[in-house]
Amino acid sequence: MRHDTTRRRSGPAALLTVIATAAFALILAFAGAAPANAASSPSPSPSSSAAQSIQVWIRKASDRSDVPGVKVTVSQGSFSQTVTSGDDGKALVPVPAAGTYKVDLDASSVPEGAGTVPTGLNPRQVVVSAGNQGVPAYYILVAPGGGATPTPGASGGASSGAGGGGSGADSGASLFDLIAPRIVTGLIFGLLLALASIGVSLIYGTTGLNNFAHGELVTFGALMGYVFSAVLGLPGVVAIIAATVLGGVFGYVQDLGLWRPLRRRGVALVPLMIVSIGLSLALRYLFQFIFGADQLVLPADNRAAFILGPVRLRSTDIISAVICIVLLLLVAFVLLRTRIGKATRAVSDNRSLAAASGIDVERVIRTVWVGAGSLAGLAGVLIGYYQSLRWDTGASILLLIFAAVTLGGFGTAFGALVGSLVIGVITDVSTVFIPNNLKYVAALVVLIAILLVRPQGILGKASRIG
């Protein structure tokens, strides 16, 4: 009878999978049809008579402040125009036609102490489509030696991609002035990392799967936030809610159309892990094909809203931290006080015993996938506000996600939270003493050191082997 029931349900399930997949395809296709580099800053002045233009935006990575007075030359063939960034760090360059333009920042015009452009990011190519106004050419100036306030994440983010020879110890600044901002930014990034890490931990706890495609759930949320906010021009709160909801739907579709059928066929965990790697690569390059390889920037006020000594935070940083704390408390409440939360913990502890006790294991796993997708989507859009994003934003932090989950203890949601905070702070603070491009190494060294002392992780349970 159970076999017949499964067959009867497979038709509606397959139909729902097809419908959801088609909906995602329409959203992504719309995003691709819209300018992939839609302006993230205010639209150009109506006085501009050009049908297309490039918006240059220059900021410091150390405090995210705008840099005025920097000369930038935009050229293509016989066309060449040099502009100077204004007080808001921006300059609008009308261009005569669609095409690929070279944007070259004059390093000699950068004010002393503002920093330098990371190696390989200047000059750059910017593609302008017909009628596309305000295509962003986004520059982040890092401190000499790669010591800008770090924001771990996608290449080309707020301070990632900094070339590094030397530590982050800026000359003339006290040790406290260098460490304090990094502790704060590390805690904020750790909270963002925790949203994604909890999903990985819960999926592993309930299914035993190390999902290497989880980073693409994060990227999906970031890109959906970009579509709703930068492309459609909707308020940020709408973009955040949409990314969270669509992330949950995407997680449900993945489980319904892929993982549940594989579980029912008894596919072993190692092949499942390989499938997740293939899914990760497929989604990653699909995102690149649709949105392009350039950095994407969500509309946000990047001025400092909170200043306390050397610590400078934007309003989006503060709002993101508050959202993360509220969501993490909500997750803790659900896991500890609700029936589905207790069932999830029971399945994580002993799946066979939970099933024998009458718990619907498949329902729990399905709920976990929806929750993990929602948390990953929310983490993605908040990371998109925290830094610039790309098609591989989630993949670039996947190692940190797994490091946080491993450090906290595989399968434990609260361990993922603790591990994420530790990884976030260590990654940021380490740039005071080592080159910026080695910050991930510092986190992994600490991970290894802690596991040598406590192999099960900070909150993991020791298990007997043999």
Amino acid at the residue 198: I
- Are the C-beta atoms of 121 and 84 separated by less than 8 Å? no
Q: Where are the domains of the chain?
A: 52-141, 180-453
Q: Of 420, 424, 432, give the one whose Cα is nearest residue 179.
A: 432
pLDDT at position 407 is 86
pLDDT at position 46 is 35
Q: Helices 361-386 and 236-254 meet at what angle, rounded to 10?
A: 140
For 218, the token pair is: 């994060």
CATH number of 180-453: 1.10.3470
Tokens 């990985």 correspond to what residue? 200
For 264, the token pair is: 């029912």
CB burial of 56-76 (b: ≥16 within 10 Å; e: otherwise) equals bbbbbbbbbbbbbebbbbbeb
Q: Of 223, 225, 34, give the one whose Cα is nearest residue 131.
A: 34
What secondary structure, in 3-state letters, does the chain show? CHHHHHHHHHHHHHHHHHHHHHHHHHHHHHHHHCCCCCCCCCCCCCCCCCCEEEEEEEEECCCCCECCCCEEEEEECCEEEEEECCCCCEEEEEECCCEEEEEEECHHHCCCCCCECCCCCCCEEEEECCCCCCEEEEEEEECCCCCCCCCCCCCCCCCCCCCCCCCCCCCCCCHHHHHHHHHHHHHHHHHHHHHHHHHHHHHHHHHCCCCCCHHHHHHHHHHHHHHHHHHCCCCHHHHHHHHHHHHHHHHHHHHHHHHHHHHHCCCCHHHHHHHHHHHHHHHHHHHHHHHCCCCECCCCCCCEEEEECCEEEEHHHHHHHHHHHHHHHHHHHHHHHCHHHHHHHHHHHCHHHHHHCCCCHHHHHHHHHHHHHHHHHHHHHHHHHHCCECCCHHHHHHHHHHHHHHHHCCCCHHHHHHHHHHHHHHHHHHHHCCCHHHHHHHHHHHHHHHHHHCCCCCCCCCCCCC
pLDDT at position 440 is 79
Tokens 């986004």 correspond to what residue? 138
For 376-428, the pLDDT digits (tens) are 999 999 998 887 788 889 998 898 899 888 888 776 777 888 889 989 898 88
Contacts of residue 351, Cβ cutoff 8 Å, sequence gap at least 6? 206, 361
Q: Of 282, 321, 78, 276, give the one whose Cα is nearest residue 185.
A: 321
pLDDT at position 339 is 93
pLDDT at position 331 is 92
Residues 171, 175, 177: CA angle, nearest 5 degrees? 85
Q: Cα–Cα distance between 303 and 284 in angstroms, integer?
A: 32
Q: Cα–Cα distance between 196 and 378 in angstroms, integer?
A: 8
Q: Which CATH superfamily is domain 52-141 in?
A: Immunoglobulins (2.60.40.10)
Q: Cα–Cα distance between 361 and 171 in angstroms, integer?
A: 58
pLDDT at position 462 is 62
pLDDT averaged per 10 residues, the chain (length 466):
42 44 48 41 38 82 79 88 86 85 87 77 79 75 52 35 38 71 90 91 90 94 92 91 95 94 92 94 94 82 78 88 93 92 90 90 94 95 86 89 85 80 88 78 83 79 52
Tokens 């994060």 correspond to what residue? 218
pLDDT at position 131 is 63
pLDDT at position 96 is 85
For the entire predicted model, the pTM comes to 0.67
Query: What are φ and ψ of residue 168, in 5° steps?
Result: -90, 10
pLDDT at position 88 is 81
Q: Cα–Cα distance between 322 and 431 in angstroms, integer?
A: 26
